[in-house]
Amino acid sequence: MFTAVLGSRIEYALLNPQQYVAGRPVIVFLHEGLGSLAMWKDFPQAVSDATGCRALVYSRCGYGQSETVRAPRDLRYMHTEGLEALPALLDQLCIERPILLGHSDGGSIALIFAGGSGRATAGVIVMAPHVMVEPLSITSIAAARESYLTTDLPEKLGRYHADPAAVFWGWNDIWLDPAFRDWNIEEYLQPIACPVLAIQGKEDQYGTLQQIRIIGRAAPNVQMLELKHCGHSPHRDQPAAVIAALSTFVASLSPVNCDASNSLKGPGRPSSNPCP
């Protein structure tokens, strides 16, 4: 399915829209820097089934089959998504007080939304999020550039994106820009009013455990899960452990956090902001 958000066409899917545990909010999946709706594969359905929550999965503008972004992204592209595009999408689909589940860049977007948008959020689940830029991240992203130039990575990305070159370079160029070394979202952590589950693999090649430990020190209500034998994609490397942890987390959310009685109902609030 497609909808218009900030003047651009966005692809999305709603899972289990009529079958859910009463009172549980919609889980909104926020993909990684090279991700899309399709790249989540069967993980969102497994999460929806395990938690009894409806789920929204979408491709951000420029990703998957959503409208391609022609203008270069700027250093605050994750801020733009969390503070402008995601609120507009939720308004368009009439989703209130969601649980945000973000991976990598998507995790950062979830934290920015929860701490800076002024929107009520039932809970936040982040997997391998970035709160600041580490040397390890830069080294691995530089290696990804070499892989894109010398392997079949463009072909692989082409299976999931209408414009794989724009997806890759839009992400890679930003992260390797020297000005991006100062990027930091720690200011958004302390204001987060909802519970947070932060998950990271101990063998994550794009960030150290310091990322979720910063979240644990700064945000008021955080559970942390550090997984052995796990890299940058916990939901692929340790799916059983991740689904068990987030199922317990969702079940523990208080009725106040989970009051989603108006989700997927009523008129959306239009916005005129441009797509990031």
Domains along the sequence of the chain with CATH = 2-252 (3.40.50.1820)
The answer to whether the CB of 200 falls within 8 A of the CB of 232 is: no
pLDDT at residue number 256: 57
Neighbours of 241 (CB within 10 A): 17
Give the helix ranges, DSSP H, for the chain: 43-51, 77-80, 86-92, 105-116, 135-150, 153-158, 164-176, 210-218, 234-237, 239-252
pLDDT digits (tens, 9 = 90+) for 165-194: 999 999 999 999 999 999 999 999 999 999
With the CA atoms of 81, 87, 93 and 98 taken in that order, what torsion angle do they form, in degrees rounded to the nearest 10? 100
Collapse the DSSP code of 99 into the 3-class scheme (helix H, G, I; strand E, B; otherwise coil) and give the result: strand
Q: pTM value?
A: 0.92
Q: Tokens 């990703």, residue?
A: 63
What's the CA gap between 47 and 42, in Å, rounded? Answer: 9
What's the CA gap between 154 and 262, in Å, rounded? Answer: 42
Query: Whose CA is closest to 107, among 210, 10, 33?
Result: 33
Share of the chain above pLDDT 90, in %: 86
Instruction: Write the burial class of residue 238 (CB in 10 Å: 0-12 exposed, 13-18 middle, 19+ buried).
Output: buried
16 or 116, higher pLDDT = 116
What's the CA gap between 120 and 221, in Å, rounded? Answer: 15
Collapse the DSSP code of 215 into the 3-class scheme (helix H, G, I; strand E, B; otherwise coil) and give the result: helix
pLDDT digits (tens, 9 = 90+) for 44-103: 999 999 999 999 999 999 999 999 887 778 999 999 999 999 999 999 999 999 999 999
pLDDT digits (tens, 9 = 90+) for 193-237: 999 999 999 999 999 999 999 999 999 999 999 999 999 999 999
pLDDT at residue number 73: 86
